[in-house]
Structure 1
């Protein structure tokens, strides 16, 4: 397996959007977070995010094929970098791709000074981020009665 991060550009927004809808569909159905789910984001919203100055989108390619995407906000001013969103398409999950993508992201943007949030009820996601060295900040936010976000930092 050869995993590489490939920088995406604004013109890649339609491909990212299609992948994002597939990747987040199950979570949207489970948690019904219609206002916040990336599965419900419009293509125009994603294009705008892709064009932001301090935001970097990467395709996660395995053996030359895209299996997921991650986005990093890095203002390069000493403030915390933000990982959001990151996803692996359902048929490729459970193979260590997210961990390797995060390692490579840290090589590009630095190992320290990160933040992210994830769904508290998703034990696999919580485990992944804690395994990668992220620690809970103590902050949570209820999105709806079914879903709570938990916030993490990697100092």
Structure 2
């Protein structure tokens, strides 16, 4: 399955808001993290992210099935967030998207992200791509802990 990353524009905000909400809704229902879950993100905040950062639609067969945002912070690139619709998860789409952005963004060698400790599939994906766990750990609630991952490319 070949994916394309297409730079998001202001005109994509309604589509991306819908896809992001549908992608993160199962995690919101599971972990009840109402303050941090992107399914609860106001559309105006997503609009700002599209305008002021590198936000891409993840497209498969001409359909937007997810998104990935890259932010420069200090001397690192941050993936925040990456999401794929539930029906398309487990098909290597997120892996391809990450590999593509890592090849496209080359000013820095360090990549970082946060993910949910309890989501073993996410942790496995990042570790498979060469990310290593950092010391960052934030307990969100009694169901969920955020952890950090970092990758330094040579």
Query: Normalising TM by the smaller chain, what interval?
Result: over 0.9
Q: Distance in 2 between matches of 1:143 and 1:107?
A: 32
Cα deviations by residue, 1:49-90 (Å, 9 ceiling, x for unpaired) = 2121xx111111112221111110136xx6100001001100
**Aligned ranges for residues 1-155 of structure 1 at < 5 Å?**
1-52=1-52, 55-74=53-72, 79-110=75-106, 112-155=109-152
TM-score normalized by the length of structure 2: 0.93
TM-score normalized by the length of structure 1: 0.93
Q: Distance in 2 between matches of 1:96 and 1:84?
A: 18
Secondary structure in structure 1 of the residue aligned to 2:16 = helix
Q: Distance in 2 between matches of 1:67 and 1:46?
A: 16
Tell me, which stretches of 5 or more residues in structure 1 are unaligned?
A: none
Q: Distance in 2 between matches of 1:93 and 1:139?
A: 26
* CA-atom RMSD in angstroms: 1.3
Cα deviations by residue, 1:94-114 (Å, 9 ceiling, x for unpaired) = 111111111111111138211
Query: Runs ≥4 in structure 1, deviation > 3 angstroms?
Result: none
Tell me, which stretches of 5 or more residues in structure 2 are unaligned?
A: none
Q: Distance in 1 between matches of 2:67 and 2:115?
A: 16
Cα deviations by residue, 1:22-52 (Å, 9 ceiling, x for unpaired) = 0000000000000111000011111112121
Q: Is the 8 A contact 2:135 2:148 kept in 1?
A: yes
